Amino acid sequence: MSDVKPNPPMRLRAALDAIPAYKPGKSSASGDQIVYKISSNENPYPPLPGVVEAVADAATRINRYPDAAAVQLSQVLADRLNVTTDELSFATGSSGLLFALHDIACEPGDEVVFAWRSFEMYPIVTALSGADAVKVPLADDGRHDLKAMAAAVTDKTRLVIVCSPNNPTGAVVHDDELREFLAVVPKDVIVVLDEAYLEFVRDPQAPDAMAIYRDFPNVVVLRTFSKAYGLAGLRIGYAVASPEITGALRKAIMPFGVSDLAQHAALASLERMDELNARVDALVAERTRVVDALTQLGVTMPDAQSNFVWLPLGEKTLDFAAFADERGLIVRPFAGDGARCTIAETEANDRLIEVVRDFYTQNGLFG
């Protein structure tokens, strides 16, 4: 029977070997209790009022391709950001823009500089492009070491990615240090400022990205509707960049990738900024509550400026994730480094405080 020959390996790119295989999200082993998934920095609120209606309306036209130029949305955002529509590019989330930025800038053998640890997607996108990732260790406080990053830029550098607030440590770079950094990076190297969590930032020293973009046209500002806007499932993000760069991006971005559903959901959300801001404020208040409680317990962690907290648990990270899982909290562990925990529903945040208290106590982590 089983003389079926195994298929020979396909002719696939060697670059894939450097990329971890996709792991489907596991379900929690926590019995009957309500399980909170705090592993993906999603927004716990449902879409804003009017958004589901806008999507339903757009759904009646899905026999048509979407508006490839996102005309209406471009106009609204251009007005808000005080840019022209040719300084905007849309894609399937800011992830889509990260791929396109590599496509327009990188050949095999080129270098992409970013901090590490940072967003898990960066090394994957860089590896797929054939370029080499140059990972610059974060400073001890979880912030970018911009001096070391500047020193890592070479003739081969095609992209530098600055993630602020940094995923997963949550700390921001400061406006003055980012300007000093940009002053020494060659003017023809694209510097990506990934602001996926901008709306949650309360540190007055955080960069004014639009002013920086005005002064440094090699800067590309990345923003997304996935986090604060709660539209992660619709895949829409954008870049603010010089027309030279957006023109190149238009050649590389997947045509018609951003659906009309996503464009209209974004438009409907932008019409409800008061409600959006109230939700973001509530999440920031919850973040403050969690950080205060954990700090009082004796936990030390980087300054949280995003919708998550970072627990630098080192070798205890996977144990903590398993412990949290048993108590119905799915966190995002990075083995040997730390665990990222999203600020979510109040009950989830309460449970996070308890789980951290119990784990740190049982493991003698409170000094």
Q: Residues in the site for ligand PLP, rule: CB under 6 A?
A: 41, 93-95, 119, 163, 167, 194, 196, 224, 226-227, 232, 237
Assigned token pair, 231? 């539209």
Q: Give the integer Cα–Cα distance in Å for 127 and 15.
A: 6
In angstroms, give the least distance from the CB of 149 to ligand PLP. Answer: 16
CA 73, 74, 76, 81 dihedral sign is: positive
Assigned token pair, 238? 């954008």
Q: Would you give the distance in Å from CA 42 to the centre of its chain?
A: 10
Q: Which residue is closest to ligand PLP by CB?
A: 93
Assigned token pair, 115? 């901090």
Residue 146 region by backbone torsions, left for phi larger than 0, else alpha for psi between -120 and 50, else beta: alpha
CB of 102 or CB of 227, closer to ligand PLP: 227
CB of 129 or CB of 224, closer to ligand PLP: 224
- DSSP per residue, 67-106: -TT-HHHHHHHHHHHT--GGGEEEESHHHHHHHHHHHHH-
CB of 196 or CB of 299, closer to ligand PLP: 196
In angstroms, give the least distance from the CB of 160 to ligand PLP. Answer: 15
CA distances from 132 to 122, 157, 162, 199, 249 (A): 11, 9, 17, 31, 21
Assigned token pair, 122? 């960066």
In angstroms, give the least distance from the CB of 227 to ligand PLP. Answer: 6
In angstroms, give the least distance from the CB of 39 to ligand PLP. Answer: 12
In angstroms, give the least distance from the CB of 357 to ligand PLP. Answer: 27
CB of 94 or CB of 129, closer to ligand PLP: 94
Q: Do residues 268 and 48 make contact, with C-beta atoms less than 8 angstroms apart? A: yes
Question: What residue has token string 């309500």?
Answer: 34
In angstroms, give the least distance from the CB of 307 to ligand PLP. Answer: 10
CB of 126 or CB of 167, closer to ligand PLP: 167
In angstroms, give the least distance from the CB of 344 to ligand PLP. Answer: 15
Residue 22 region by backbone torsions, left for phi larger than 0, else alpha for psi between -120 and 50, else beta: beta
Q: Give the integer Cα–Cα distance in Å for 273 and 277.
A: 6
In angstroms, give the least distance from the CB of 232 to ligand PLP. Answer: 6
Assigned token pair, 335? 């083995």
In angstroms, give the least distance from the CB of 80 to ligand PLP. Answer: 18
- With CA atoms as reference, report the closest residue to 216 among 251, 247, 175, 248: 175
CB of 309 or CB of 365, closer to ligand PLP: 309
CB of 77 or CB of 365, closer to ligand PLP: 77
Q: Give the integer Cα–Cα distance in Å for 181 and 149.
A: 8
- With CA atoms as reference, report the closest residue to 249 among 76, 98, 104: 104
Assigned token pair, 68? 């490839």
CB of 41 or CB of 305, closer to ligand PLP: 41
CB of 41 or CB of 246, closer to ligand PLP: 41
